[in-house]
Structures are given as C-alpha cells and as structure tokens.
Structure 1
Amino acid sequence: MWDGLAAALALPGFAGLLACGAAAGLVYGFAGFGAALIFIPVAAALTDPGVALASFAVMASGSVVTILPRVWPVADRAATGFMILAATLTMPLGVALLTRLPEAPLRWAICGIVAATLAAVMAGWRITLSDRALPRLGLGATAGLMGGATGLLGPVVILVTLAGGAAAARMRANMALFLTTVTLLILPTLWWQGVLTLPVFWIGLILLPVYAGATLVGQALFRPGAERVYRGLAYAVVAGAVVLGLPV
C-alpha cells in the first residue's frame, strides 16, 4: 500500500499535476464543467493518457461533496438522468479503445470533432435538444464513448448545451450533475480494465483535497446573471482543450 504512495510522490512532474488540479477545480466550481478539459491534456503530457484519466476520476470524486448538493435542485434531473445512463453503458467501450488503439489518431479525431463543433456554436449554430429519452440517450452515449477513450466527457455535452441557449444557472447545473456522476461511475471500469492501479489511485487521492478546495473557491465566484462571461469562459476552455490536446 505504502509503496503505491511512494511511487505516486516520486512521479516526475507531480508538482505540475498539483497545479493543474487546482486550476481544474477552480474552473469546475465556477462553470460546472471544464475540469477534465484542463487536467487531462496537461496530465497526459506529464504522464500518459491512462494515468491522466484514472487519477482525474479519483480526484474529481470530491465534486460529489463540493458541488453536487448545490446544483441538484437547479438541474433538469430527468433529462440528465437519461444521459448518465447511456454514458455509463458506453464508457467501458471507450476505455477499451483507450487501452488498445494508437493514441495519436484518436487524439486527432477527437480534437477535430470538438473544434468543428465549437466553430459552429460560436458562429451562431443553435439546436433545441428534446427532453425525450432518445435524443438524451444518444448524446449521453456519445459522451460516454468519447470520455472513456480520451477522458474528455464534457465537450460534446458542453457544446450541445450551449447551443440550446438555456440560462447560465441551468446549463451549469445540468453539466455539473452529468459530469460529476459519470466521472464517479467510470471508476469501476477503470479498475476492471487495469487502468486504475494503486499508484494511480494514490495520485488522485493526493490531488483530491487540492481540487476540492479550489472547487469551493470557484463555486463562490459564480454569478447566475453573468451570461456573457459564462459563455466566454466556456468557449475559451473548450478551445484551450483542443490546442492542448493536439498530439504535437
């Protein structure tokens, strides 16, 4: 057990992971999304994609306490529940792809899809996603597959939610409910497929209080009426994730 802790502390770039975890928590507390978009690309550059995804999932479990109780009353729980169900079913396939496919082509494909969708939304693209089960299941399934393969559960959900034009408080609540729950549910799959090892678990556990504290600070900064600021931050975080995620 303690050997795993020693291996975690001896990891090259561990200080960078701590700083990245704090930044991810700050943004997630404010926006209700963006933690993986900040943490995963940087952590993958410091370690590898599997370690980045698994340590993030452990670290982000702190959001169950710090942010979920605040967003639960505001979120559309029924519609979000369909997405969570579908994502949970497709995440194992995504994790299997992560462990079997070459990394570079997968990263190029994901970055291309996210960049094209971001450009469409910023250009004025709007979509009204029905609250019926089928569209929500499709969106959740896509997010789960992408999230399992890359650690980035958020981009497709973020962009479709932004394109819907809902109020900032409702958007934030829906995305936070989805991302927090699904990130927690991916942990058994990561363990089962050998991605979540004891040293990686220790990395996430050490990062957890740093992330949770930063999340509380970000949550205190959120203002429901700051619609333009909220959307601007959303676009900037997704664009930054595309650049950081490029396999160059």
Structure 2
Amino acid sequence: MQDLIHATLTMPGLVPVLCVTFLAGLIYGFAGFGAALVYMPLATIWVAPPVAVAGLALSALASLVTVVPRAVRQVEPGPTALMIGAAFLTAPLGIWVLRTADPLALRWMMSALVALTLAALMAGWRYSAVPGRGTRALVGAATGMVGGATGLTGPVVILFHLGGQGSAAANRANTLVFLTVLSVLLLPQLALQGLLSGPAIGLGLLQLLPYAAGSRLGQALFDPAREKLYRQSAYLLIALAVLAGIPWQ
C-alpha cells in the first residue's frame, strides 16, 4: 500500500492531471456531458491511455453521489437501461483495442473523435425521427465500443441525445446517468483484461475529490435559463482541450 501511495504521489504530471480532473468534473456537472472530452486529450499528455481510461472510470464513482441523485428524477429509465446494456456488451471489444493498440495512435484517435464531436455539436446537428429500441441499442453498442477503446463514452450518445427532439432537461439527465453508470460498469471489464493497474487505481482514487468538487460546483452553477451560455463555455473548453492534447510530435 505504501508503495502504491508513493508511486501515485510521485507520478509525473500529477498536479496538472488533477487540475484537468476538476475541470472535467465542472463541465460534467453543469452541462451533463464533456468530462471525457476534456479529460482524455489532456490527461494522456502525462499518462498512458489505459491508465487515463481506468483512472477516469474510477473517478466517475464520485458522480453517483454528486450529480446522479438529482438527474435520476428526470431520466427515462427504460430507454436508458437498454442503451447501458448494449454498451456493456460491446465494451470488452473496445477495451481489447485499448490494450493492444499503439498509444500514439490512440491519442490521435481521441483527438480526432473529440474534434468531430465538437464540430457536430457546434453545427447544431439535429434529426427529426423518433428513435426506436433498435436504434437505441445500436447507439449504446457503438458507445460501448468507442468508450472501451478510448475512454470517450460521450461522443456517440451525446450526439444522439442532443440531436433529438427531447427537452434539454431530459436529454441532460439521460446523458448524465448513462455516462456515469457505463463508466462504473467499465471497471470490472478493465480489471478482467488487466488494465485496472496499480497506477490507474491510485490515480483514480486520488482524482475522486477534485472530480467530485468540480461536478458539485458545476451542478450548483447549472441554470436552465442559461443553458446556451453553459453549452458555449463547454464547447470552448473542449476545443482548447483538443488543441492542447494533439500529439504534435
């Protein structure tokens, strides 16, 4: 235990990673999305992608007591549960990609995926069809695959929810609960494939406090009347995270 504590506290880049964790939690608290979009491009500057993915999944435990209790009152339980189940089934394949792929290639994949998601969000992409169970299952399955491989559980489901015709409050609640529960469910799957390592556990546990503080503050700042301002602020921070996280060299 002492060795784990020492290794975590002396981890290169620990302070900036903890600052990024607080920022990710802040965005997640008031927007209902964006934690991984900010965290993954930046955290992987200092830590390997598998450590970052597992660390963020552990950090998501904080959301179970900070933002989920309020959001669950507005969530659509059936559709959300269907999507979580589909994502859980496909996540192992994504985690296998995370375990075997080149770290530099994964960083480029993360940056590209975040940039494409941000572009679609800023363009105001929308669809008019009412999604059925099959569509929701496919969205969940795609999210599990992408999330397992890159830690970015958000892009597919964010575009799905925000591109639909549901209310802002319901979309925010559905996205927030889905992302939190899926992140927690990734933990045993990461462990089974050997990616819940000592460094990842140490980092994840240390990140619990800044992530919880950020998400609690973000939730307190959330005001439906100022949704446009919050969303624009999140877009700006995500864009900055993309630029800073691109592996130029």
Provide the TM-score with structure 1 as the length reference.
0.91
Q: Distance in 2 between matches of 1:188 and 1:31?
A: 27
User: Which ranges in structure 2 are unaligned for 5 or more consecutive residues?
Assistant: none
Q: Distance in 2 between matches of 1:206 and 1:106?
A: 24
Report if aligned partners of 1:67, 1:216 keep a CA contact under 8 Å in 2: yes
Pair 31,187 (structure 1): closer, same or farther in 2 beyond 3 Å = same
Pair 15,110 (structure 1): closer, same or farther in 2 beyond 3 Å = closer
* Alignment partner, residue 155 of structure 1: 155
Report if aligned partners of 2:57, 2:184 keep a CA contact under 8 Å in 1: yes
Q: Distance in 2 between matches of 1:110 and 1:16?
A: 19
* Alignment partner, residue 217 of structure 1: 217
Q: Distance in 1 between matches of 2:58 and 2:129?
A: 31
Q: Distance in 2 between matches of 1:105 and 1:198?
A: 24
* Alignment partner, residue 38 of structure 1: 38
Q: Distance in 2 between matches of 1:129 and 1:182?
A: 25
* Alignment partner, residue 25 of structure 1: 25
Within-5 A mapping of 1:129-140? 130-140=130-140
Pair 206,117 (structure 1): closer, same or farther in 2 beyond 3 Å = closer
Q: Which runs of 4+ in 1 moved over 4 A?
A: none
Q: Percent identity, aligned pairs only?
A: 46
User: Which ranges in structure 1 are unaligned for 5 or more consecutive residues?
Assistant: none
* Alignment partner, residue 236 of structure 1: 236
Pair 218,118 (structure 1): closer, same or farther in 2 beyond 3 Å = closer
Quote how far apart the aligned CAs of 1:117 are. 5.0
Q: Distance in 2 between matches of 1:145 and 1:74?
A: 27
Quote how far apart the aligned CAs of 1:87 are. 0.8
* Alignment partner, residue 98 of structure 2: 98
Q: Distance in 1 between matches of 2:117 and 2:53?
A: 23
Q: Distance in 1 between matches of 2:244 and 2:155?
A: 14
Report if aligned partners of 1:155, 1:238 keep a CA contact under 8 Å in 2: no
Give CA deviations for 1:14-46 in whole Å, capped at 9, x if unaligned: 111211111111111111111111112211111
Report if aligned partners of 2:49, 2:106 keep a CA contact under 8 Å in 1: no
Find out whether 1:190 has 2:194 as its counterpart. no
Deviates more, 1:35-44 or 1:123-132: 123-132
SS state at 1:6 partner: helix
Deviates more, 1:156-165 or 1:2-11: 156-165
Report if aligned partners of 2:54, 2:204 keep a CA contact under 8 Å in 1: yes
The one-letter code sitting in structure 2 at the alignment partner of 1:228 is K
Report if aligned partners of 1:59, 1:207 keep a CA contact under 8 Å in 2: yes
Q: Distance in 2 between matches of 1:32 and 1:68?
A: 10
SS state at 1:164 partner: coil
Provide the TM-score with structure 2 as the length reference.
0.91
Pair 44,199 (structure 1): closer, same or farther in 2 beyond 3 Å = same
